[in-house]
Amino acid sequence: MRLSSVERAMLAGEQGRATQKAMEILVALGTIYDAEHMVPVTSVQIAGVSYDNLGEAGLHFLTQLQVGGGKARVLTTLNPAGMDVENWQKLGIDPGFAGKQLQVIHAFARMNVITTCTCTPYLSGNVPHFGEHIAWSESSAVCYANSMLGARSNREGGPSALAAALTGRTPAYGMHLDEERRPGITFVVEADLVENDDYGGLGKAIGERMQALEGKPVPYIRGLKQASLENMKSFAASLATYGGAALFHMKGVTPEAGQFSPPGEAISISAADVVKAKLELTDGDPLQADFVSLGCPHLSIKEIARIAELLEGKQVVKEFWITTARPTKQIADRMGYSQVIEASGAKFAADTCCVVAPIKGRFSALVTDSAKACYYAAGKNQFQTILKPFDEVVLTAIGESHQEAA
């Protein structure tokens, strides 16, 4: 791997211990994946923020880098934390956990990382544009940025994204290269999809088929007529969760799709395939469910407006968490949505989400519209899951869902 004189100086420790450790990580990855050189990045998104996932060792590592003089050199934002930073008491978070979580956030802040604490950086001011090289480590956001924005990121882990932030570089391999972005398989969708959970089901159906293919080709998807931002954020999250995908092309939707003709090898996805994928994510009884959550990935302001509309004058009968980025919550405050939502007994959980909060053992069954949330609720927290359309999730929280018979 060829390094510039600046990069060699970083590796030799001439810019401090933290920068050296960061460059060691990047050089090792470049070696493993046969990168010829480093490429400058313009944006970083760091996962591995919740103390629930980092533990004492992770906090120690971050503190070492901070003490070692680590500073982000490019726009760097943060994934959700394990709690609402301003409102953790109301959500039943243990004070010991809260203290550790704040230490994690402060360590990042001292390294000039902007502590957005959201998994949708593209809704909160970290919006790379077409062709930009970036290093992101939230799998749903990587898939969204590569596919919907046409930016270029590998699926980084927390430490490798942080290493990119501290050096402003990443090794040029994988998604940074034109040839690696070419589609290798066509998926023909023969179904009319409307709701976020439909798109989550589609992500699971395609993702699981991708896993079975040799060499994990980039999918080219056609057959969908239109899709909202909210649909696509749900789809990207699900495809990344179930298929490990960094990138997809979708005819008529994503910016790079027009550069390619659909690969000859094609798999069709029927309406029944999508229904099957969704049913596989429902193993609980919605009437017995004790936890309802929307916002995986974090909710847009449009989604929060819809929740307020549905909750106006109602009372929730189940614990209901609405997870979003702090700035989105602040807009909801200004518009009066938050007051309506909180008057119903539903709770905002800004900065965090039901995937990374320490809620194992607190609940037994989750109702959500997110296929990704179902995966982590079942695996990490051992909850039963119930996947429903967005409006039905809200209606379940107030005991008015019409779908319970199903």
Q: Which residues bind other proteins (CB under 8 A)?
A: 21, 24-25, 28-29, 31-32, 47-48, 53-58, 60-61, 137, 156-160
| Cα gap 134→130, rounded to integer Å | 11
Least CB distance to other proteins at residue 167 (A): 14
> Collapsing DSSP states into helix, strand and coil, what is residue 400?
coil
Between 115 and 137, whose beta carbon lies closer to other proteins? 137
SS3 268: strand
Helix or strand or coil: residue 76?
strand
- Report d(CA 385, CA 19) in Å as an integer: 43
Q: Closest distance between other proteins and the C-beta of residue 61, in Å?
A: 6
Pick the closer one to other proteins by CB: 61 or 260.
61
**At its nearest, how many Å lie between other proteins and the CB of residue 240?**
13
d(C-alpha 406, C-alpha 403), whole Å: 6
Which residue lies nearer to other proteins by CB, 48 or 203? 48
Q: How far is the CB of 150 from other proteins (least distance, A)?
A: 24
Nearest to other proteins of 32, 317 (CB atom): 32
CA–CA separation, 81 vs 102, rounded Å?
9
Q: How far is the CB of 49 from other proteins (least distance, A)?
A: 11
The least distance separating other proteins from the CB of residue 359, rounded to whole angstroms, comes to: 17
- Closer by beta carbon to other proteins, 157 or else 345: 157
Q: Closer to other proteins at the Cβ: 159 or 201?
A: 159
Distance CA 251, CA 257 (A): 5
Query: How far is it, in rounded angstroms, from Cα 3 to Cα 20?
Result: 14
In whole angstroms, the minimum distance from the beta carbon of 163 to other proteins comes to 8
200 and 238 in contact (C-beta within 8 Å)?
yes
CA-closest candidate to residue 276, choices 206, 211, 212:
206
Shortest distance in whole angstroms from residue 68 CB to other proteins: 12
Measured from the CB atom, is 28 or 378 closer to other proteins? 28
Q: Strands 169-171, 38-40: parallel, antiparallel or unpaired by DSSP?
A: antiparallel
What CA–CA distance (Å, rounded) separates 311 from 194? Answer: 22
Q: Which one, 208 or 404, has the nearer CB to other proteins?
A: 208
Burial 317-330 (b: 16+ CB within 10 A, else e): ebbbbbbbbbebbe
Q: How far apart are CA 143 and CA 187, in angstroms?
A: 17
Cis peptide before 262 (omega within 30 of 0): no
How far is residue 163 CA from its own chain's centroid?
20
